[in-house]
């Protein structure tokens, strides 16, 4: 059986943690919550309303790539993966093996992201940074191994589409 490695990605508030959790459970795989791997300096910057830059994200992304690759039987990662270069860092450990890393991009608009982030109590990521996510985002829809889903669609529809696609990719 081929290992399944998939990243559920998108801007803040798109639902990547929730979709990732449900997808991991349906596949019987561990979930790697990307936010748990941010160093305290990154979390502090975000709490202060300072957007992370490429240098801030580099070590975090490398840690996530190592953690994901370390799950030889597969895993689901929730991670913003906003830029193509960030996705490439995550892909590197999988470049020489099997079908490679897959991405599920939960696409939402800025107003929906802002609404959702504003509702999250106690999260380190403030609504004031939502605009910076959209400024950083590079649309992954034309990259190989990427499924784009409407992050504002009903949860059961998003979950079913994600699971069907991952299973189809896994069997291909």
Domain that includes residue 50, residue range: 4-171
Q: What is the pTM of this model?
A: 0.93
Pick from 100, 92, 72, 103: which is nearest to 172 by CA? 100
Number of domains into which the chain is organized: 1
Q: Tens place of pLDDT for every residue, the chain, 172 residues?
A: 578 999 999 998 899 999 999 999 999 999 999 999 999 998 888 888 888 899 999 999 999 999 999 999 999 999 999 999 999 999 999 887 666 799 999 999 999 999 998 887 666 677 788 899 999 999 999 999 999 999 999 999 999 999 999 999 876 5
**Cα gap 20→23, rounded to integer Å:** 5
Residue pair 93/102 in contact by the 8 Å Cβ criterion: no
Match 């450990």 to its residue by tokens.
93
CB atoms within 10 A of CB 88: 15
Angle between helices 54-69 and 40-47 (to 10 degrees): 130
Residue 155 has a pLDDT of 95
DSSP 103: E
- Beta strands across the sheet bearing 146-150: 31-33, 74-78, 4-9, 102-107, 146-150
**Cα gap 135→102, rounded to integer Å:** 23
β-pairing verdict for 146-150 and 102-107: parallel
**Cα gap 9→93, rounded to integer Å:** 18
Domain of 31, CATH number, reads 3.40.50.300
């Amino acid at each position: 059986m081929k290992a399944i490695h998939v990243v559920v990605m998108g801007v803040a508030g798109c639902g990547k943690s929730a979709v990732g959790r449900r997808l991991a459970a349906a596949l019987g795989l561990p979930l790697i919550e990307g936010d748990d791997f941010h160093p305290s300096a990154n979390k502090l910057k975000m709490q202060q309303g300072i957007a992370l830059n490429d240098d801030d994200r580099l070590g975090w992304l490398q840690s996530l790539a190592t953690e994901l690759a370390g799950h030889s039987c597969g895993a689901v990662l929730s991670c913003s993966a906003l830029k193509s270069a960030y996705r490439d860092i995550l892909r590197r450990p999988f470049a020489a093996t099997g079908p490679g890393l897959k991405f599920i991009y939960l696409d939402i608009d800025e107003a929906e992201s802002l609404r959702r982030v504003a509702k999250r109590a106690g999260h380190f990521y403030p609504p004031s940074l939502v605009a910076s996510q959209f400024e950083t985002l590079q649309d992954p829809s034309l990259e190989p191994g990427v499924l784009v889903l409407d992050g504002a669609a009903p949860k059961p529809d998003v979950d079913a589409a994600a699971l069907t696609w991952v299973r189809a990719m896994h069997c291909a």
